[in-house]
Amino acid sequence: MNVKERKKRACLLPTCKGERFDLVHKFPMDKERAELWRKALDIADLYNYPLEQLRKRVFICSRHFRIQVKQIII
């Protein structure tokens, strides 16, 4: 798969339901930063999964990253 054929991914947040995005953000590998993301997103279900699993399966679109995550972690 070359760069132009990137796989589109779904955003975790319900307001993006049904939409798929080229540019998404994965949970960070750093555990402290990943915990900050969990708190910033404020989604109870995220606490049911280990961080390693979130890193592989959960994506945040750029729009929601700016709104919900970036403001808190910077």
Alpha carbon 56 to its chain centroid, in Å, reads 10
3-14: average pLDDT = 82
60: which strand partners? 25
Q: What is the pLDDT of residues 23-67, one digit of tens each?
A: 899 999 999 999 988 988 888 999 999 999 999 999 999 888 887
Question: In sequence order, what are the residues at sequence separation of 6 or more whose Cβ sits closer than 8 angstroms to the Cβ of residue 8?
Answer: 20, 21, 22
User: 74 versus 41: which is more confidently predicted?
Assistant: 41
Q: How confident is the model at residue 30, as a pLDDT?
A: 92
Q: Which domain holds residue 26?
A: 3-73
Q: How confident is the model at residue 5, as a pLDDT?
A: 67
Number of domains in the chain: 1
Q: Locate 55 and state its tokens.
A: 């890193």
Length of the chain, in residues = 74
Q: What backbone phi and psi angles, to 5 degrees, belong to 19?
A: -90, 150
Q: What backbone phi and psi angles, to 5 degrees, belong to 9?
A: -120, 155
